[in-house]
Amino acid sequence: MKYTFPKDFFWGAATSATQSEGRELNDQKGENIWDYSSVKYNHRFYEGVTTEHTSNFYKEYKQDIQRMENLSFNSFRTSISWSRLIPDGVGEINQEAVKFYRQMLQEMKQKGIQPFINLYHFDMPMALQEQGGFENREVIEAYRRYAECCFELFDDLVACWFTFNEPMIPAEAGYLHDRHYPYVVDFKRAATVLHHIILAHCEAVNVYKKNYKGKIGIIMDIIPVYPRSQNPADLKAAEMADLFYTRSLNEAILKGKYPSELRNVLERYNQMPEVTPEDLDLIEQTKIDLLGVNYYRPRRVKAKEYLVDVTGIFSPEWFFDDYVMPGRRMNTSRGIEIYPEAMYDIAKKIQNDYGNIDWFVSENGIGIQGEEAFIKEGMVQDEYRIAFVKEHLQWLHKAMEEGSNCLGYHMWTFVDCWSWINAYKNRYGFYRMDLKTGEKTVKKSGLWFKTVIENKGFD
């Protein structure tokens, strides 16, 4: 069977500023929470490797964009680093940063590669984090101003903007699960952060729509939740996991309303953040043009086995346990399930529940530890990555044939890049980066993806 995708389908890959550019504080870049925690909490990073050691996009953007062209990409997503552009988050604009981003965007334009530009990928400027980051309502205004600066400075070169990547993560990883700085564990504070991020998103979307003509959206996870069984206790567990980790955010963004069940639970447990009627109006009035969906793995849950909580700290995990389905296919490197069918389920959910909005796969990929073992004749022979992409595209194709408005597919990622906490543990790129020499060499999957782009699909 031939899987053919539309002529103007977006093909490419994604990364983020912090993960690819390199720290380069010499060019007046301000510190962000990653630069700070890299030094102060170095033990929390895999092998102590931090933001200093990235794939060097700041210096090598020309060669990297040439590499994208070599693979026939027609689009590419990265983010602007807030603390590079405005070192303290609110003050003077760093002209070196303006120069860098304009040159980078011009280079992409020249090569016919459409930039998808995201404004915030987990990287709060440290000066603002010291004032509470997104926990502080005033930071919403700082973000709005930052977004406005980006639009003013770069809109002539960018037609697709995104406000946030995975907005749930800064709240959940930074304020509930002790993974990202500031390593707080407090549900109500996490909920406050999430609410303020949603408001910041709304402010940026509205500023953009008032003054500019391109498209603006957001990049989120829509992780499908599957219950262990149809037994009512398992169904309830799935409902709660979905409510906390998916609906809480996605319905605010895509339906303009928080789910009423969420308020009921949060009030019952005294965890409701401050939400004003004006906030709710703003959320209701804000509409995006384009949705990016990151998908790596499904969530499987079951009813709780033990109802005893030893910490006393409220958590969504009070209502469900993760479930390891026997026989499920695993990416053993990352310890997560491979379930390509979910791509279809996500597309159907967008079609049925979220108004069949225009969307694209903004991240999908397979992180592998110890990829060196697959090098033969100087090339990573990553057949597993080809199989992974193929299967996900097949399910996506099926949904598109049934009317899903999916406009593109971006892989995570282009060149193996540094990742939050895991540093270079899991390699995701179409290009391998040698950590010692910095040399970048294409993997077998990169060459295969090029044929897919050129043939608009595969057999």
What are the catalytic residues?
Answer: 166, 363
Binding of ligand BG6 at residue 369 (CB under 6 A)?
no
Locus of tokens 């206790």? 233
Diameter of the chain measured on Cα atoms: 63
* Minimum distance of ligand BG6 from residue 377's CB (angstroms): 27
* Minimum distance of ligand BG6 from residue 220's CB (angstroms): 10
Token readout for 38 is 């890299």
What is the x/- site pattern for ligand BG6, positions 163-182, by CB under 6 A?
A: --xx----------------
Question: Of 367, 408, 429, 446, which one interacts with ligand BG6 (CB under 6 A)?
Answer: 367
Three-class SS state of 174:
helix
To 10 degrees, the CA torsion angle through 185, 203, 149, 153?
120
294 within 8 A of 317, measured Cβ to Cβ: no
DSSP 339: -
To 10 degrees, the CA torsion angle through 69, 74, 77, 82?
80
Scan residues 424-443 and list those touching ligand BG6 (CB under 6 A): 426
Three-class SS state of 89:
coil
Pick from 90, 165, 94: which is nearest to 128 by CA?
Answer: 90
What is the x/- site pattern for ligand BG6, positions 323-352, by CB under 6 A?
A: -----------x------------------
**Which is closer to ligand BG6, CB of 19 or CB of 129?**
19
* Minimum distance of ligand BG6 from residue 35's CB (angstroms): 16
DSSP 32: B
Buried b or exposed e, range 89-117, using 16+ CB within 10 angstroms: bbeeebeebeebbeebbebbeebebbbbb
Q: Which stretch binds ligand BG6 (CB under 6 A): 54-62, 149-157, 380-388, 418-426?
A: 418-426
Scan residues 118-157 and list those touching ligand BG6 (CB under 6 A): none
Q: Which stretch binds ligand BG6 (CB under 6 A): 52-60, 69-77, 419-427, 434-442?
A: 419-427
What is the x/- site pattern for ligand BG6, positions 284-323, by CB under 6 A?
A: ----------x-----------------------------
364 within 8 A of 13, measured Cβ to Cβ: no
Question: Of 162, 412, 431, 448, which one interacts with ligand BG6 (CB under 6 A)?
Answer: 412
Residues near ligand BG6, by CB under 6 A: 16, 19, 165-166, 294, 334, 363, 367, 412, 419, 422, 426
